[in-house]
Structure 1
């Protein structure tokens, strides 16, 4: 699991333990993992993926809501599609690059840590399965 996956897991823990809203939980977890104000701490794709999953009610224990400042509709589509694919074929969780190719439906584009967030939450049982 890469660092953005760890941040996503920690953010869920912070939401449950300290009752933080998803954006604040992500910011705190990312600041703990990376130095405050660094590009890694501010990186948008994994952050938006996490917040988009929360917005859609796909993270266990997080109600649907408006958690993004300016959502990237592509990231949201990627995240939701990844969850749908994993629900249909959980074995895809064992192949990050293969999962991403399925999400992209043949479009050649590298993931920018979106799959790290989705797969970490999936692995820890934090994605809503229905």
Structure 2
């Protein structure tokens, strides 16, 4: 299900913007990791935001598994948990293709107890909402 542009604009944060721009800039001359890193430096002013691992590893985990359109299967991250959260979220979305989730609702569906959302679902959500998950 493709989400409306208004809904995407309303719910997309800077990590979602980073992922979309990194995919847009992805070419054979750069790896997807390099594209993400370069894009994060363009979008974020602080080094801590540029290097924030949760959204980055969520994105790279999905890429690694071949779940992101246009990115070949590969070795892009050593993350275990963020990659697993992303894969589980994609499975939830695929089982409920007509339901519209916000990133926070999607995080709650993972049933991780008190574990805090750290922009992982913003990445999954924007890829799903833009039709970039295969």
TM-score by length of 1: 0.87
1:59 partner SS: coil
Structure 1 spans left out of the alignment, 5+ residues: none
Size of the alignment, in residue pairs?
Answer: 123
Q: Which has the higher helix share?
A: 1
**Following TM superposition, by how much is the alpha carbon of 1:116 offset from its aligned partner in structure 2, in angstroms?**
0.4
Q: Distance in 2 between matches of 1:111 and 1:85?
A: 16
Shift of the 19–60 alpha-carbon distance from structure 1 to 2, 3 Å rule, reads farther
Mapped contact 1:92–1:99 kept (Cα < 8 A): no
Structure 2 spans left out of the alignment, 5+ residues: 1-11
Q: Distance in 1 between matches of 2:123 and 2:116?
A: 15
TM-score by length of 2: 0.84
For residue 72 of structure 1, what is the aligned residue in structure 2?
A: 79
Runs of 4+ in 1 over 4 A off after TM superposition: none
Q: Distance in 2 between matches of 1:91 and 1:107?
A: 26
- Say yes or no: does 1:101 pair with 2:112: no
Higher relative contact order (CA 8 A, sep 6+): 2
Q: Distance in 1 between matches of 2:132 and 2:29?
A: 16
Alignment of 1:1-130 (within 5 A): 1-16=12-27, 19-35=29-45, 38-68=47-77, 71-103=78-110, 105-128=111-134
